[in-house]
Structure 1
Amino acid sequence: MIKQTITSRLGWLISLGYTLSTSLALAQPAPTPGTPLPLNDLSAFASPPSNWRIVNAVRADLNKANTLTTDKGTGVLVNTPPSSPPNEQSGRKYNLLTNLQHGDLDLELDYMMAAKSNSGVYLQGRYEVQLADSWDVRAPRSADNGSIYERWDPKRPEGQNGYDAHPARQNASRAPGLWQHLKVSFQAPRFNAQGQKTENARMIRVELNGVVIHEDIELTGPTRSAAFDDEKALGPLMLQGDHGAVAFRNIRYVIYDKPRPELVNLKYAVYKGKYEKEPDYTKTAPESEGPTTVLSADVSRTPNEFLIRYTGTLRVVEPGEYRFSLGVPGGGGMLKINNQSVVTPGGWNGTGKVTLPKGDVPFELFYSKFVDWTKPALGLAVAGPGIREYAITNAVGDNGEEVDPIIVDAPTNTILRSFMDLPGDKGTEGKGVRVVHAVSVGSPQQIHYTYDLDKGALVQVWRGSFLDATPMWHDRGDGSSRPMGMVQRMGAPMLFLAKLPSAQANWIADTTGSGYRPKGYVLDESDRPTFRYQSYGASVDDKIRVLDEGKGVQREVVVTNPAGDLYARLASGTSISAMDNGMYLVDGQEYIRLDDTAGAKATIRDANGRQELIVPVKSGKLMYSILF
């Protein structure tokens, strides 16, 4: 099923990792590496209760509810909740509050949930982003992972006490015991000089495991179980400790509390003509000129073949390094500040950095428009020390072309063939990989995967929404589609089966000598594919199915007349460790469970600075699961 949805939100498109507009790609507020919250002890927290401690490592058992196992050391913050759940009021004493007081903030952290556990991160101790074991959930509710929890009023009618909740857009959760990554961009409430609230707090953007789950959410007041019932300009971070076992690491933040720079004494001059490079202004008379208070493309009366030059002063209150992003669709542009070139001509979007002193510095910008099929639009955004990126122009324009994102849902088992672009890793020397014969298989359980027909390789699995096919079909298209949910990639695609002289021999890099021949796939009665190919003279059936409750996928490979010394490569990662009950943990991001190896023993081995999990294919049958 293919649905097209028109959106005017440029930020939504950017969140998918690309921009279809030719205007300024104004970056969404997103956490950058900032100040770490030290976790060598509990000194960063105010009167920490005894249920919180610092450890070195932490693990969870999928079959043991609300339980984490730890190792001594530092670097990880862990909560062991009270054995009997307290009521809402008494439970507050188990929460952990930082000494840090913040207003506008970007927050970034890793966290791990125990099975069936529940916790939360409260911005300013008042507004909760829910943390929960939700890996088997299809439609998130306000109590599920990543959701913004409800407000609560006991005076409201029964059944309506909870209100103003914001469930996550989709379930982007990982399994218990796997590290999850949360990014939050928060804007504090605003108050006037009399202390009256003039603007509600907002969650500008919340990203869970690489997936945007909230954008521009207004918070009308503190959520349930907050540390404070009132609202203030500043408040601490709070980690909920009365509900469930949870661990945190790599907590970093950026506080935005500095005044923005200001453009003053701004003047414009419009020059008529096709300027593909900056003219000599002393030899060219402007068509119009005058003072202005805003940067805008609207000062030109013509839609094409003009140049606008702005000059003025940038008043800098906070010295330091500033980053500028310039959008000049349909032509070229330049930005010069304090007599330094910040963005040079070339392309419709450009960025640059400059270190500025406190005080007034010269400002100069030009925008030359000479491509006639785009609308004029000028965008300039700036970010600096303690200053969240914002548009300094009056508006960010577009090219006059509305883009319909082409979203492929999977209400039933769904198959789409396309190119699939993968980011680089150590196995590809940092270079991205394009899988040219990729088959993506979607399921109504919202667990999906991509298969490489050229190598018999499982490329990636993901939870949540299925595919964005906009780059495949929009305009001329490039043939590629993109996963829309929480993606777990399997590393650089390589042959799944290889004939090795020993368990330590190098895995073959390509199909040479393997006799690999793809034979397509057959569908079962539910339209689920079983992939077929030939390798080393044997016929292979490769069946991948979604596990019950959407907890991952199970792969069953049957090899008819297998060659001797045949191995399967199940996983590759920086770190692979054996667990109990035939389970392996890969990079803290996925579990591999051996379901049927016909008695063969798996081997963890070193390979080109990484680790691989391989197993002999003895009887011609292998079954394992990927839990994520």
Structure 2
Amino acid sequence: MIYKNYKAIYLAFWLLAFAGAGSSYAQSLNNPVALNDLSAFAAPPKNWEIAGGVHADLDKDNQMQVIKGSGILVNRFDEKNIGRDLYFNLQHGDIDLEMDYAMARGSNSGIYLQGRYEIQLLDSWGAINPKAGDNGGIYERWDDAKAEGMKGYEGHAPRQNASRAPGLWQHVRISFQAPKFDGNGVKIANAKMLYLWLNGVMIQENVELSGPTRGAFDNKESALGPLRLQGDHGAIAFKNISYTNFNKPHPTVANLKYAVYKGDFTVEPNYKTIKAEAQGVTPMLTSNEVKLANEFLLKYTGILHVNEAGEYTFKLSVPGGKGGLKINSATVVTANGFRGTGTMALPAGDLPFEIVYIKNVDWAKAALGLTVSGPGVREYLLSDANVSSNDAVDPILINATENTILRSFTDVPGGIRVTHGVGVGSVEQLHYTYDMDKGMIVQIWRGGFLDATPMWHERGDGSSKPAGSVQYLGKPSPGITKLADANAAWPADTNSTGYKPKGYTLDADSRPTFKYIIYGATVSDASIVMPAGQGLHREVSVSVPIANLYMRLASGSKIEMLKPGLYSIDDRYYIRVDEGNEKPVTRIVGGMQELIIPVLKKVTYSIIF
């Protein structure tokens, strides 16, 4: 991708460059919103209340059961009395904001930044091609003076549908840049959505907002405005709301001097004994002053101006080598693996600093980078935009334009690598990974199919990863096993079971049925994507009855039976057991809850998320 405004969107890049695998965000948010009462809100309407829990009805629109308690903000829906929007006391400009939300079936709501720019919240469960009005979309602007069919404009659809089913908690994180004005109040820069992550997937990035979206509380724009939640279109709940207001000027660098030294350095030399290859002054931190491709040392000195005392975090990128940052002669960052991070409490004022960049790996491009974040300061790029993520490869993405199968290694939480994983993709954009060593579905996800970059780029490591919003289904372990009784611990492996994987067969639509032998019986395990990609329906059958055989349907911290046959797992996904099965058992083993079911001849159930 080519970005025209590096300073504005650099944060999103830096997150990807510095955050570890599976991490989406860099700066933690420092202002949680207490939800013990409604005191955080301005004149809260009667349709809003505080609760301790919620459950949505999967079969009825706008039905949400509310459980007494605290910690959850709920908008009740009443068709007779139209609800009103909820305004925070918070007035904000640039802001990072995150929260969890759960929607009733058919519900419609929104998050309005500054009360004017709407992030759509919608029950988009099962939408294959999301639009601007779907969950995570940036709603359209509106002009009644335009011709029919043209009134709505500049809406921005999410890159993919990362939505969850009604009643399940979804996580959104937003980074918003407010419009900017000169001293006369004239707008000099539009508002921007720097990024928007939904359920672990970036679905909006660097979207410029030329003006308020439809439904804004007014059509003016200003440096500050109220945070607002829509309350007139459906039942919805929120929790874990937190934010960081970025209302302070960022540190700056000045009086920059550089020196370039030629050589294969491992540590800093005695500068008095060597001669610089080049030296001078420059208006910005950059590696462009270096005319050597490799084996050099670049040293910068200068002044860091800090407007307000506080704790500041610096990230230093030194591709192809190592380096460090010192402020007031004290080491802040040591970068030994191409990059490093450090934090230091700094006083206000002008502080001397120095940066050293030693490069001795020839395949990496020289690209010095430095960012700073701190109290009221969004992560800001102090160097030029010639920065490398050290992974400047276009991703190798596999789209499931038809039912698709790919075998690869699969990494799941806990540092676990599934070595015989099979990725199964569908045109409904609902995909899963099957562990052929355990007879278990280890993860299910919605959106893009697979990112095969780790497997196919250069030599690769044999692994692929989901390209959508993932729900992990627990630590890999046998899908079915014998238990001495219903309280016996579930085994970690298939030792002593005679387990033998027998591959899979494909039906007429190229959907796999996995087969294996266990305890001398043949097991057939087939999953079919439910209509509109709303989940997986799974059928596991055993060729001959086996005494005391059980199947583990789910494990988690909290398993609740919402109604006979329907279970909520950690409020993250549902298990629905078909009629005609044996009765499932919820038990506690090792501090975790498990949902298990006796296996006689066949088990059929659905994973819904």
Partner of 1:197: 187
| Structure 1 residues 159 and 18: alpha-carbon distance in aligned structure 2, compared to 1, 3 A threshold | closer
Letter of the 1:625 partner, please give it: S
The yes-or-no answer on 1:480 pairing with 2:463 is yes
Selected match of 1:126 from 104, 116, 120: 116
Selected match of 1:35 from 18, 27, 31: 31
The yes-or-no answer on 1:609 pairing with 2:591 is yes
% identical equivalent positions = 54
| Structure 1 residues 570 and 169: alpha-carbon distance in aligned structure 2, compared to 1, 3 A threshold | same
| Structure 1 residues 311 and 16: alpha-carbon distance in aligned structure 2, compared to 1, 3 A threshold | closer
Letter of the 1:501 partner, please give it: A
Partner of 1:77: 73
Q: Distance in 2 between matches of 1:397 and 1:140?
A: 33
Partner of 1:490: 473
Letter of the 2:308 partner, please give it: E
Q: Distance in 1 between matches of 2:172 and 2:209?
A: 19
Aligned pairs, how many?
605
Partner of 1:299: 289
Matches within 5 A, 1:178-577: 178-398=168-388, 403-424=393-414, 432-577=415-560
Q: Say if 1:497 and 1:568, in contact at 8 Å, map to a contact too.
A: yes
Letter of the 2:289 partner, please give it: V
Residue 472 of structure 1: CA displacement?
0.6
Q: Which has the higher contact order (CA 8 A, sep 6+)?
A: 1
TM-score, normalised with respect to structure 2: 0.96
Letter of the 2:433 partner, please give it: T
Letter of the 1:253 partner, please give it: Y
Partner of 1:64: 60
| Structure 1 residues 237 and 7: alpha-carbon distance in aligned structure 2, compared to 1, 3 A threshold | same
Q: CA RMSD in A?
A: 2.3
| Structure 1 residues 439 and 387: alpha-carbon distance in aligned structure 2, compared to 1, 3 A threshold | same
Q: Say if 1:338 and 1:356, in contact at 8 Å, map to a contact too.
A: no
Bigger mean CA offset, 43-52 vs 168-177? 43-52
Q: Distance in 2 between matches of 1:60 and 1:323?
A: 42
Letter of the 2:434 partner, please give it: Y
The yes-or-no answer on 1:621 pairing with 2:602 is yes
Partner of 1:49: 45
Residue 289 of structure 1: CA displacement?
2.0
Q: Distance in 2 between matches of 1:303 and 1:127?
A: 46
Letter of the 1:457 partner, please give it: M
| Structure 1 residues 581 and 111: alpha-carbon distance in aligned structure 2, compared to 1, 3 A threshold | same
Letter of the 2:475 partner, please give it: A
Letter of the 1:357 partner, please give it: P
Q: Distance in 1 between matches of 2:597 and 2:29?
A: 39
Q: Distance in 1 between matches of 2:127 and 2:224?
A: 35
Q: Distance in 1 between matches of 2:253 and 2:20?
A: 19
Q: Distance in 2 between matches of 1:24 and 1:309?
A: 28
Q: Distance in 2 between matches of 1:324 and 1:17?
A: 13
Q: Distance in 1 between matches of 2:184 and 2:344?
A: 38
Q: Distance in 1 between matches of 2:591 and 2:395?
A: 40
TM-score, normalised with respect to structure 1: 0.93
String of CA shifts for 1:514-545, please: whole Å, max 9, x gaps. 11110000000111000000011111000011
Q: Distance in 2 between matches of 1:400 and 1:310?
A: 22
The yes-or-no answer on 1:116 pairing with 2:98 is no
String of CA shifts for 1:419-460, please: whole Å, max 9, x gaps. 000112xxxxxxx11000000000001110000000001111
| Structure 1 residues 597 and 437: alpha-carbon distance in aligned structure 2, compared to 1, 3 A threshold | farther
Q: Which structure 2 segments of 5+ residues have no match? A: none
Letter of the 1:212 partner, please give it: M
Q: Distance in 1 between matches of 2:355 and 2:396?
A: 36
Residue 56 of structure 1: CA displacement?
1.2
Q: Say if 1:31 and 1:184, in contact at 8 Å, map to a contact too.
A: no
Q: Say if 1:24 and 1:326, in contact at 8 Å, map to a contact too.
A: no
Q: Distance in 2 between matches of 1:17 and 1:442?
A: 28
The yes-or-no answer on 1:593 pairing with 2:596 is no
Q: Distance in 2 between matches of 1:351 and 1:47?
A: 43
Q: Say if 1:112 and 1:247, in contact at 8 Å, map to a contact too.
A: yes
Letter of the 1:624 partner, please give it: Y
Residue 342 of structure 1: CA displacement?
1.3
Residue 349 of structure 1: CA displacement?
1.1
Residue 373 of structure 1: CA displacement?
2.7
Secondary structure of the corresponding residue to residue 173 of structure 1: coil
Q: Say if 1:30 and 1:205, in contact at 8 Å, map to a contact too.
A: no
Q: Say if 1:29 and 1:204, in contact at 8 Å, map to a contact too.
A: no
Residue 85 of structure 1: CA displacement?
7.7
Q: Which structure 1 segments of 5+ residues have no match? A: 1-5, 425-431
| Structure 1 residues 95 and 521: alpha-carbon distance in aligned structure 2, compared to 1, 3 A threshold | same
Q: Say if 2:335 and 2:341, in contact at 8 Å, map to a contact too.
A: no
Secondary structure of the corresponding residue to residue 277 of structure 1: coil
Q: Say if 1:134 and 1:144, in contact at 8 Å, map to a contact too.
A: yes
Secondary structure of the corresponding residue to residue 472 of structure 1: helix
Q: Say if 1:135 and 1:175, in contact at 8 Å, map to a contact too.
A: yes
The yes-or-no answer on 1:101 pairing with 2:91 is yes
Q: Say if 1:24 and 1:378, in contact at 8 Å, map to a contact too.
A: no
The yes-or-no answer on 1:137 pairing with 2:137 is no
Partner of 2:154: 164
Q: Say if 2:395 and 2:451, in contact at 8 Å, map to a contact too.
A: yes
Letter of the 1:354 partner, please give it: M
Q: Distance in 1 between matches of 2:588 and 2:436?
A: 27
Q: Distance in 2 between matches of 1:173 and 1:466?
A: 15
